[in-house]
Structure 1
Amino acid sequence: MITLLQNGAWLLNGQEIVEDTADSTTILNSKLGYVPEKKDAAAQTMAYNILQAHNTSDSKEQLKIKFDKMTSHDITFVGIIQTARASGLEKFPIPYVLTNCHNSLCAVGGTINEDDHMFGLTCAQKYGGIYVPPHQAVIHQFAREMLATCGGMILGSDSHTRYGALGTMAIGEGGGELAKQLLCRTYDINMPGVVGIYLTGEPMKGVGPQDVALAIIGEVFANGYVNNKVMEFVGPGVSNLSAEFRIGIDVMTTETTCLSSIWRTDDKIEEFYVLHNRPEDYKELNPGKVAYYDGMVVVDLSTIKPMIAMPFHPSNTYTIEELNANLEDILDDVAKRAAVSFDGAVDYTLKDKIVDGKLYCDQGIIAGCAGGGFENICDAADIMRGRSIGSDKFTMNVYPASTPIYMELLRNGVAADLLATGTVLKTAFCGPCFGAGDTPANNAFSIRHTTRNFPNREGSKLQNGQVASVALMDARSIAATAANKGFLTPATDLADIEYKHPKYHFDKTIYDNRVYDSKGVAHPEVEIHFGPNIKDWPAMTALTDDLIVKVVSEIHDPVTTTDELIPSGETSSFRSNPLGLAEFTLSRKDPAYVGRAKAVRALEEARQAGGCPCSGGTELSDEVKAVIENIKKAFPDMDAKKTAVGSTIYAVKPGDGSAREQAASCQKVLGGWANIAKGYATKRYRSNLINWGMLPFIYPEDELPFANDDYIFIPGIRKAIEDKLTDIPAYVVGEEMKPITLKMGELTDDERKIILAGCLINYYKEA
């Protein structure tokens, strides 16, 4: 059972919860002899103390964080380093690890992927970084094994940058935030709220970390209970979980839209550090005697059953038992979600997967930062040992998360046991998580212990009439399903399984032999390898006095993921080429977007070349001329030479999912100047917009005063940003100018300067 307290709560001695109610003063007085101040008690959380230890600001509320280490993979590090190079980078100031776990198997673009890898290697040599070659480790497993420290902070350009179970506060952000750290700037954020995740009990046999994670996600995602807050795991149940079990829950906290996570540490975490030859990096972490939390999630681990997150989101959760008992109704609900997500572009149903009253799955995968851990794979092997996946459609693939894990599976015989069942073992790779590996057949249904199951994230192409779907499950129930030849089966149904829990022996020999570690020494004489696909960021202009934006896409889904803004999968090969990648923007959600945005960009290019937005022989010239004339009726002093023309999209709540900055930068290079949203799903997506000089407008009303193809005039926008206005007057352009108010959430002084400069690169050039 999972309970969300409706108020804040005090945690006494790490054990006892006192909810913040009308009676709490009396209760606290009776237990403590006094009533602690909330502010003082909030400072007793682990999160507060780690953040303040890394805060360079004089303020304890407006934080300026400097991280200890950073990580990026091969679909983000090229753009980040290119941004930093354009802004004056000379040396990596902190350890910066460049892994190659995303573009290592994409068969797209000829030499593109390996060119990016060589770019990474030569940059690690030139600027003093660490380079992990392809197939050695997925980004987060390498960080767990080699980087995490109790009380430390790591910034990564992947949204699943989560090492809280090891005592490290880690945050996944867009590339602009990493570029700031490379340039010795800070990560600026208000002190986040902290929500306690209070664990009791012990998981039942057959229940794994993904089951616990999905149960929590299902309770907190839709209501925003932990949105942009830190999840702090406490309570006696923590000690009943192994280090790897905690890691498996922790990595999935990203899917709650929290900012970061941290766990109390104990002898099991100390053992992890000893095992990985880093005992000095361990220290015990606990909240103070009286700690105050902004909310509390109480989880009785003993009640968690095997879970499944049905398409098309990790929060669409059921127990497998519930799904099997209500197949028709739940599959009808999934089809309704598909109708919204796919906008009727393809016929979608999973009802043809019902065979003799059971749900048949076409594919099972255990992989990546969530599934590819040693314990997950060993438990799966215990379930499957001596069985066969059969010779029908069902396939089973397992990706150990690092070569050291793979080596141990070979040594202890688990690899042989899995191979004997028909399972395929592959090297460390993130591809199954984002559509660059193991794409299922059309209309196939895949069950995966990975992190996400967004629409088309498994690699199918809606624009080509293809559709497949993914459900998220724990490795143990995936193995039970595989042992049952593809028929959905919770691991708890197999009562006779003996879990052997073999001991793990970490051997970093392969890292010593293959990983390039500069030890922080830069070699400026090294020439960077630039493949023909690696391009500099195009020039971007500063924000003009006034602004005209045309709405070129309307998205009314409750939440829009970054996968829909810029698709994952094969597009990753083009992420070192800003203009090339931009061609894929919104390609699955709104295929007409790129053409519309380019048409608006052409008008702005004409303006910058010395013409007026209403001049030229384009199809839109008469339309824009009429727009200018209508604006001048109300604003006769409007100067077209000081008024940029750009595009904007409207989405209800954009930005759930990946941290990758390309979701914003692709809009920018296509001429985007703004997003308008009812709200933003994550802090990191909003930050990406700001770092690319885009205005993150909010229009909170349900009914929109504008529609696709409408123009919006925002007079005095530059002065409004300079003057720190939060309500910005704007007008929907027509024969009559319709006034509206666009809201601007809180901006730091640096964020205002970035927007005014036109992007982060321009801001640093001006500094």
Structure 2
Amino acid sequence: MKLYDTGVYLADGTQIIPDDSEAAAKLSAIGKKADRKSASEGTMAYGILKAHNTSGNMQDLKIKFDKLTSHDITYVGIIQTARASGLEKFPIPYVLTNCHNSLCAVGGTINEDDHMFGLSCAKRYGGIYVPPHQAVIHQFAREMLTRTGDMILGSDSHTRYGCLGTMAMGEGGPELVKQLLGKTYDIKMPGVIAIYLKGKPIKGVGPQDIALSIIGKVFKNGYVKNKVMEFVGPGIRNLSVDYRIGVDVMTTETTCLSSIWECDEKTEEFYEIHGRKDAYKPLHPADVAYYDGCVEIDLSEIRPMIAMPFHPSNTYTIAELKENLMDILDETEKRAKVSFGDDVDYHLKDKVHDGKFYVDQGIIAGCAGGGYENICDAADILRGKSIGSDDFTLSVYPASTPIMMQLAKNGCIADLLATGAIVKTCFCGPCFGAGDTPANNGFSIRHSTRNFPNREGSKVQNGQIASVALMDARSIAATAANRGFLTGADEIDVDFSKPKYFFDGDIYKNRVFDSHGIADPDTEIKFGPNIKDWPEMSPLPKNMILKVVSEIHDPVTTTDELIPSGETSSYRSNPMALAEFALSRKDPAYVGRAKEVQKAQKAIEADSCPGDALPEIHDVMKAIHTKFADVNRSNIGVGSTIFAVKPGDGSAREQAASCQKVLGGWANIANEYATKRYRSNLINWGMLPFTIPAGDLPFKNGDYIFIPDVFSDIRNKKTEIEAYVVKDGGLVPFTLNMGELTDDEREIIEDGCLINYYRVHNAK
């Protein structure tokens, strides 16, 4: 795999020409011109973005999407926010799926209450409602929503349908709210990186192996961060569409913005199988296209991969792991020490039996693993074998009921069940910690999307720890056939039968509610007792006092660590109840500290003295008055902030920001933000996304920071903002950096959050 250190021209879809001093001559020799500007407009990404841009300026995009998708741990908050902002009707198709809290297993009636809320809103506002166990969010979108050349926005980070010609993006809920209210998705024109595929995968190598190989190369160096990955090259023709889907969905783990693939006759066949042939049109780059970088991949060189805990980028070939077993396991244990300290006793080396690594659990599931071909190939590997009667277990979750029906018809489900494996209905739980949690110190291999700390459902705060490694379904099946001893799919002899897929759309016709865009305003929305409105949120004050209430020095902080997944999902319709879990796995004292600081702001809002509610504010104000005598409770706000080196990797869930906001958070301070979507979530909840250079911190946990004239600085588009650490009765100056904000984003921050912003604008 090669990463180019320059931009590249792609000629005729097959020839890579680096943008160096010889580029013009090489292009001229094949009758082409080296015109970077026009060639940049020859990418597939440019054409789709241009067709959806409403600004008239291709450098500052204002995108309107064709469709929206959400699942049952995001749509309640999104619709509640939109309702508070004036929603009357869904203006474009909006699909509400129920694949996260499908089991309705915890929280009493909460989960099913949310589902009934979703169904009633689909009727009232003109949406589409997919009941539990019918399909995971992304498989339904692939089967029923995508069209070549379309754009879809989803409130799940793995919203990726590029291999079907649909440029899709996963964002926090407020960005969907904007679309529901007829507004736009505002971004700078992103860079576009060519992912050039050549060759053909060897037998036993699956899509997860390709994806993990890419992630391992580009995550740590940020090569594709916030850019569009454009898959091109002759190797695409050697991949089935199901295979392409498996690679495409994992592009999220590179921190890219979106993805798009060339679409050919195999794509057309996919649409025809699903009864939507009219959704297809060929999609290829122009004869000459310019890319800001290129990842060149020879598919024949990829081998079965494993991503060790606790990130999809911690990649090795399975052969490499087996050859260096004790060293890599020791390295993994040390990584756990960085994340967990001495809170838990995490160990893996005791799983080595006679030189072989024994795993406790295999899972093939969700939007990445639950595809038809993945499961058919796994069944071929396991047919006639047994997974054994010891610790090892295997669970398989098809990604949709149509897939499950075809697996039942062709006998694959029977073959899997005969081995001792369990086949379950479609469910996202194994991917976010709401299903199949292993035993303490258990090690699970999963064809799913993530393996962050606690993502499998264990609770470090209770002294538990388990961990997940990501692998392809074929190698998981090979390991299962070897009764839990780690085995790559290239180590076994198998003939893959590749049974043809037949899609039965009647399943959805019989169960999915589709309003066909017709709203019924007389439908009464069903509210369960856990569904609560957002609390009132204050606008940005003239001057700001921030207390640092958490300090995180991990290289990357995931959204799972900011607001845990799994059991907390039941409370995502209740902002204050959910906020009680904020940072609970990373800094259990955070919530209490934030609430103490919030008392001061509540006192100000009640026209009382903040120092009476939080006595240490008296000393803070004395220090401020040594330089700013006119600061008083009529022109200040008091809030909390956290520092993290690189927060926001992973999920799009807005709650990573909103939970901080409802607890009185007014800012984050970071060296950089892991993803665009987390920074957008902060902004949409009225929080300031500050950065400071890496190195020595000017403050520590528990310190107060004073930012004078912060309102004016935001309004006046300042990028360097004067701030002070309150120290020893005085003020120590330092600089906070503010990246570029759009005019709308500045107003959202000034108004205090997106809800306030729309309330203000609707009143005008």
Structure 1 and Structure 2 fold alike (TM over 0.5)? yes
Alignment of 1:214-253 (within 5 A): 214-253=212-251
| Deviation at residue 633 of structure 1 after TM alignment | 1.0
Matched residue of 1:219: which SS? Answer: helix
Structure 2 equivalent of residue 302 of structure 1: 300
1:24 aligns with 2:30: no
Q: Which moved more, 1:337-346 or 1:112-121?
A: 337-346
SS at match of 2:290: strand
CA distance in 2, matches of 1:86, 1:307: 47
Q: Secondary structure at the match of 1:742?
A: strand
Match of 2:679 among 679, 682, 686: 686
Instruction: For 1:757, give the aligned amino acid.
Output: D
Question: Following TM superposition, by how much is the alpha carbon of 1:21 offset from its aligned partner in structure 2, in angstroms?
Answer: 1.6
1:714 is the counterpart of 2:707: yes
Q: Contact 2:118–2:129 (CA<8 Å) still a contact in 1?
A: yes
**Secondary structure at 2:733 match in 1:** strand
Change (3 A) 1:404 1:33: closer
Describe the SS at the equivalent of 1:649.
strand
Structure 1 CA distance for aligned equivalents of residues 669 and 231 of structure 2 = 35
In structure 2, distance between residues paired with 1:145 and 1:455: 32
Task: Pick from 730, 737, 743 the counterpart of residue 736 of structure 1.
Answer: 730
Query: How far, CA to CA, are the matches of 1:354 and 1:422 in structure 2?
Result: 24
Query: Pairwise mapping of residues 523-534 of structure 1 onto structure 2 (< 5 A)?
Result: 523-534=520-531
Select 1:279's aligned residue among 256, 277, 280. 277
Q: CA deviation at 1:330?
A: 0.3
The aligned residue for residue 754 of structure 1 is 748
Alpha-carbon RMSD across the aligned residues, in angstroms, is: 0.7
1:424 counterpart (388, 397, 422) = 422
- Indicate which of 684, 694, 702 corresponds to 2:695: 702
Corresponding residue pairs, total:
760
Give the alignment partner of residue 542 of structure 2, picking from 542, 545, 559.
Answer: 545
AA matched with 1:602: K
1:569 corresponds to 2:569: no
What is residue 109 of structure 2 aligned with on the other side? Answer: 111
Q: 117, 142, 155: which is aligned to 1:157? A: 155
Letter of the structure 2 residue corresponding to residue 651 of structure 1: A
- TM-score with structure 1 length normalisation? 0.99
Is 2:597 the partner of 1:600?
A: yes
Per-residue deviation, 1:718: 0.2
The alignment status of 1:664 with 2:648, answered yes or no, reads no
Query: In the alignment, which residue of structure 1 is the partner of 2:139?
Result: 141
Q: CA deviation at 1:106?
A: 4.9
Q: Secondary structure at the match of 1:227?
A: coil
Question: Aligned letter for 2:524?
Answer: E
Partner of 2:51: 53
Structure 1 alignment gaps of length 5 or more:
none
1:6 maps to 5
Q: CA deviation at 1:25?
A: 2.5
Whole-Å separation in 2 of the counterparts to 1:738 and 1:21? 48
Report matched runs for 1:202-601 at 5 Å: 202-495=200-493, 497-601=494-598
1:340-364: per-residue Cα shift (whole Å, max 9, x none)? 1112211111101101101000000
Answer yes or no: is 1:725 the counterpart of 2:708. Answer: no
Give unpaired runs (5+ residues) of structure 2. Answer: none
Matches within 5 A, 1:614-633: 614-616=611-613, 620-621=614-615, 623-633=616-626
Whether contact under 8 Å (1:106, 1:570) holds in the other structure is no
2:2·2:295 contact (CA, 8 Å) conserved in 1? yes
CA drift at 1:607: 1.1
| Contact persistence 1:718–1:756 (CA under 8 A) | yes
Match of 2:87 in 1: 89
Change (3 A) 1:33 1:173: closer
What amino acid sits opposite 2:121 in the alignment? C
Give 3-state SS (helix, strand or coil) of 2:201's partner: coil
8 A contact 1:382–1:498 mirrored in 2: yes
Query: Which residue of 644, 648, 656 maps to 1:651?
Result: 644
Matched AA of 1:313: H
Deviation at 1:729, TM superposition (A): 0.2
Q: Distance in 1 between matches of 2:625 and 2:610?
A: 13
CA deviation profile, 1:300-356 (whole Å, cap 9, x unmatched)? 000000000000000000000000000110011101110111122111111011011
- Cα pair 1:612 1:641 within 8 Å, conserved: no
Q: Secondary structure at the match of 1:499?
A: coil
Cα 1:331–1:33 change in 2 (3 A) is: closer
- The answer (yes or no) to whether the contact 1:176–1:691 under 8 Å persists in 2 is yes
2:636 partner letter: T
1:415-435 Cα distance to aligned partner (Å, 9 max, x none): 100000000000010000000
Is the partner of 2:612 in helix, strand or coil? coil
- Quote how far apart the aligned CAs of 1:34 are: 3.4
Q: 2-side partners of 1:731 and 1:135: how far apart?
A: 53
Q: Distance in 1 between matches of 2:626 and 2:104?
A: 54
- Following TM superposition, by how much is the alpha carbon of 1:212 offset from its aligned partner in structure 2, in angstroms? 0.2
The 2-side partners of 1:160 and 1:35 are apart by: 36
Change (3 A) 1:288 1:536: same
Question: What's the offset of the Cα at 1:32?
Answer: 2.6
Aligned 8 A contact 1:106 1:436 in 2: no
Task: Measure how far apart 1:33 and its partner are.
Answer: 5.3
Distance (Å, rounded) in 1 between the aligned partners of 2:68 and 2:683? 21
1:52 positional shift:
0.6
Is the contact made by 1:106 and 1:437 (CA closer than 8 Å) also made in structure 2?
A: no
In the alignment, the residues of structure 1 paired with residue 302 and residue 203 of structure 2 have an alpha-carbon distance, to the nearest angstrom, of 11
2:633 to 613, 617, 640: 640
Q: Find the partner of 1:766 among 757, 760, 763.
A: 760
SS at 1:614 equivalent? helix
Whether 2:163 is the aligned partner of 1:169: answer no
- How many angstroms apart in 1 are the aligned matches of 2:116 and 2:351? 44
Q: Distance in 2 between matches of 1:247 and 1:716?
A: 49
Q: What amino acid does structure 1 have at the position aligned with 2:458?
A: S
Name the CA distance, whole Å, in 2 between partners of 1:648 and 1:641. Answer: 21
CA distance in 1, matches of 2:664, 2:342: 29
Deviations 1:161-216 (A, max 9, x none): 00000000000000000000000000000000000000000000000000000000
What's 1:63 paired with?
61
Looking at structure 2, the residues matched to 543 and 269 of structure 1 have their Cα atoms a distance apart, in angstroms, of 49
Q: Kindly provide the CA deviation profile for residues 492-525 of structure 1, in whole angstroms up to 9, marking residues without a partner as x.
A: 0012x01000000000111000000000000000
* Partner deviation per Cα, 1:226-277 (whole Å, 9 max, x = no partner): 0000000000000000000000000000000000000000010000000000
Q: Aligned equivalents of 2:34 and 2:629: distance in 1?
A: 63
| Cα distance in 1, alignment partners of residues 695 and 516 from structure 2 | 54
State the one-letter code of the partner of 1:104.
S
Q: CA deviation at 1:749?
A: 0.3
| Cα contact 1:43–1:49 (8 A) shared by 2 | yes
1:23 offset after TM fit, Å?
A: 2.1
In 2, Cα distance between the equivalents of 1:370 and 1:31? Answer: 40
TM-score, scaled to structure 2: 0.99
Residue type matched to 1:641 in 2?
S
Work out the CA distance in 2 between the residues paired with 1:326 and 1:347. Answer: 23
